[in-house]
Copies of this chain bind each other. A is one copy, B any other.
Amino acid sequence: MNKFNGMKKEELQDLLADLNKRYDEFVSQRLKLDMSRGKPGADQLDLSMKMLDYPSGSDCCKTADGTDCRNYGLVDGIPEAKALFAEMLEVSPKEIIIGGNSSLSMMYDSIARAVMFGVYGGSNPWGRQPAVKFLCPSPGYDRHFAICQLFNIEMITIDMKPDGPDMDMIENLVSKDEAIKGIWCTPKYSNPDGITYSDDVVMRFANMKTRADDFRIFWDNAYAVHHLTDKPDRLLNIMRACKDAGNPDRVYVFSSTSKITFPGAGIAVMAASENNTALIKKQLGIKTIGPDKINQLRHVAFLKDMKGIESQMKKHAEILKPKFDMVLDILESELGGKSIAWWNKPNGGYFISFNTLPGCAREVVAMASNAGVAMTPAGATYPYGRDPQDRNIRIAPTMPPVSELKKAMELLCVCVQIVSIKRILTL
């Protein structure tokens, strides 16, 4: 270990005194900044205001095939919306189900249906089996884990590697344990690591042998088109890979326009094999006569096609890139080379995953909070809120304005150094 470039005890104590002074200055500013959630900023939301002008014109509420979207019907969505999201997710419109405003709801409902009624090809509802376990690549998305907790599904933490989850561990576990029914993945610009799974990882997911014949990959492609650079990551098409591998029914893909248009009035979507969607649509038909179809029309009129989505996402990137750059610059200038913290440099998504020395994350987040900067709770990125090494902090730079972001990041870096020095000095 060569923390802080090998500074001696006395030097560290001097530095600590300086840092404490800086911290007190932050405290005296009575900040009230929120870096806790992956919310778009108001300027991003302004990008979609034109969408609210749609639908307009005579017969504006009809689909191309003449269905009146104002009335009941079309439980799986209007043809135009299915076509648009089929293009975005690289699947057939027959493999698409359009939902309401929330892809989280579609995931929750998919778990709930599996627990209560079982999945296509499964012999029993998950809820009738002695135990149900899910694999949770971590750090991951806290809301995925919360669903498992609510349904009493045991979570098994899987390490994240630079190209995706630890596939050796996953293949080994799923091949042996019939109780393992699924896995949560955010395969592109992952939450929070910003990692895009490699082709090899996707192929191994598609081809692995699972002991459970009703195993499902919950492929939360939330950041499918959410690039920050002109050279976006590429994610292999898992639906095609699963088909080619003879496991066509293995995967549920989820996405939404929450961070394309509006989180508070977007469109959620899922994709799955035709066997899967047929069963889901049948069950869904008991639950609803159909989702909001006028909002689907509105989205199609505004986004138009894949080119329209890409152009919209470029505008988001123009707003977000300077924020991510500033965070990375501050991290580099304050913490670079000190061997007390490590972070990812994502090409897209909504987060920067930040790791302290082991055993420091909770204290860092608490210090930041005491100075008025809310971070995602330490541990939240792990099942049951328990980060075994207490080192991961999810930085969400999208929501605050650049000036506030700068201040919040400087504070964070001060906190990290203070907690790290204290830790080093007591070792």
Q: Are B55 and A68 in contact (CB under 8 A)?
A: no
Of B127, B286, B289, B292, the residue contacting A100 (CB under 8 A) is B292
Of B40, B102, B288, the residue contacting A288 (CB under 8 A) is B102
Q: Are B104 and A288 in contact (CB under 8 A)?
A: yes
Q: Using Cβ atoms and an 8 Å threshold, which residues of chain B touch A293?
A: 264-265
CB of A84 closer than 8 Å to a CB of B: no
Q: Are A264 and B127 in contact (CB under 8 A)?
A: no
**Interface residues in A268-316 (C-beta closer than 8 Å to B):** 283, 286-295
Q: Using Cβ atoms and an 8 Å threshold, which residues of chain B touch A117?
A: 150
**Interface residues in A87-144 (C-beta closer than 8 Å to B):** 100-102, 104-105, 108-109, 112, 115-117, 127, 143
**Interface residues in A31-77 (C-beta closer than 8 Å to B):** 37, 39-40, 42, 45, 48, 52, 55-56, 60-61, 68-73
Q: How many angstroms from the CA of A225 to the CA of B283 in the assembled complex?
A: 30
Q: Are B265 and A151 in contact (CB under 8 A)?
A: no
CB of A377 closer than 8 Å to a CB of B: no
Chain A interface extent, by class: 35 or more
Q: A100-B291, A288-B108 are in contact. Are A69 and B264 (CB under 8 A)?
A: yes
Q: How many angstroms from the CA of A60 to the CA of B262 in the assembled complex?
A: 14
CB of A263 closer than 8 Å to a CB of B: yes
A52–chain B nearest beta-carbon distance, Å:
7
Q: Using Cβ atoms and an 8 Å threshold, which residues of chain B touch A150?
A: 117, 283, 286
Q: How many angstroms from the CA of A112 to the CA of B108 in the assembled complex?
A: 12
Q: Using Cβ atoms and an 8 Å threshold, which residues of chain B touch A101?
A: 100, 288, 290-292
Q: Are A105 and B287 in contact (CB under 8 A)?
A: yes
Q: Using Cβ atoms and an 8 Å threshold, which residues of chain B touch A61?
A: 45
Q: Are A116 and B108 in contact (CB under 8 A)?
A: no
CB of A366 closer than 8 Å to a CB of B: no
Q: A108-B286, A150-B117, A286-B147 are in contact. Are A263 and B100 (CB under 8 A)?
A: no
Q: Are A70 and B263 in contact (CB under 8 A)?
A: yes
CB of A331 closer than 8 Å to a CB of B: no
Q: How many angstroms from the CA of A60 to the CA of B50 in the assembled complex?
A: 13
Closest to A52 in B: B55
Q: How many angstroms from the CA of A357 to the CA of B287 in the assembled complex?
A: 34
Of B68, B73, B258, B295, the residue contacting A295 (CB under 8 A) is B295
Interface string of A160-201 (1 = CB under 8 A from B): 000000000000000000000000000000000000000000
A30–chain B nearest beta-carbon distance, Å:
20
Nearest 9 CB-CB pairings of A with B: A265-B294, A108-B287, A102-B288, A45-B70, A101-B292, A72-B263, A100-B100, A70-B262, A264-B293
Residues of A within 8 A of B (CB): 37, 39-40, 42, 45, 48, 52, 55-56, 60-61, 68-73, 100-102, 104-105, 108-109, 112, 115-117, 127, 143, 146-147, 150-151, 258, 262-265, 283, 286-295
For this complex, 26 residue pairs linking A to B, each with C-beta atoms less than 8 Å apart, are A37-B72, A39-B72, A40-B71, A42-B68, A45-B61, A48-B70, A52-B60, A69-B265, A70-B262, A70-B263, A71-B264, A73-B264, A100-B101, A100-B292, A101-B291, A102-B289, A104-B289, A105-B288, A108-B286, A112-B112, A117-B150, A143-B286, A147-B287, A150-B283, A292-B292, A292-B295
Other than the known A101-B290, A101-B292, what 15 A-B pairs have Cβ atoms closer than 8 Å? A37-B72, A45-B68, A45-B70, A52-B56, A52-B60, A71-B263, A71-B264, A102-B291, A116-B127, A116-B151, A117-B150, A143-B286, A147-B286, A264-B290, A265-B292
